[in-house]
Amino acid sequence: MAAPPSHLIAIYPGSFDPITNGHLDLIARGSRVVERLIVAVLRNDSKQALFSVEERMEIVREVVRPYSNVEVGSFDGLLVDYAAERGANLILRGIRAISDYEYELQMALMNRRLRPELETAFLMAGEAYSFLSSHLVKEVVSLGGDVSGLVPPMVEARLKKRFGHHANTTRTS
C-alpha cells in the first residue's frame, strides 16, 4: 500500500561535484511535494572528484538552508539500501534530455527489482537548466569561462579558488 502524500520521504542522490542551479531547481520543486527530502551525496572513490565528499556536503548544506524540510547525507553502496536506512519511500531524479531518460529508466527498474516498495519519480529539468551539468560547469571554469547564474555564488567562488583566478589563461591564438 502506498504511503499518503504527506508521508513521502524522498532521496535525491547525486555526486553534486559541484551542485548547480539545476540541482537547486529540482530540490526546490521536490521539497514542495514531499514531507522530507534528503539530498544524498554519493561517495565514489573510483571517480576523481573536484571536491571531497565533506566539502560537497558542506556546500550543499549551505545552499539548501532556506528549505526547512531538506537535509543532507552521504552514501556509498546501493542507493536502495541507503533509502531503506533513512526510511525513504521515494527516489527523486531529474531528467534533462532523452539520453538521461534511458539511463535513469534502467536505474529505476533495477532499483524496483531490488526494493519493489521504493518508487522513483522523475522531474523534468527547468528549461533554463536543461543543458546544465556539473561536468560542463567544471570544464567552463577550468578554461576561464563565466558560470555566474549557473551555480550559486558561493559555489562559483569555490570553483574559482579551486581552479585559480586565472585558470588556463595561457591560451594561444
Catalytically active residues, by annotation:
23, 47, 96, 134
First CA to last CA across the chain, in angstroms? Answer: 64
Rounded Cα–Cα distance for residues 44 and 116 (Å): 25
Rounded Cα–Cα distance for residues 158 and 68 (Å): 25
CA dihedral 115, 91, 124, 159 (to 10 degrees): -130
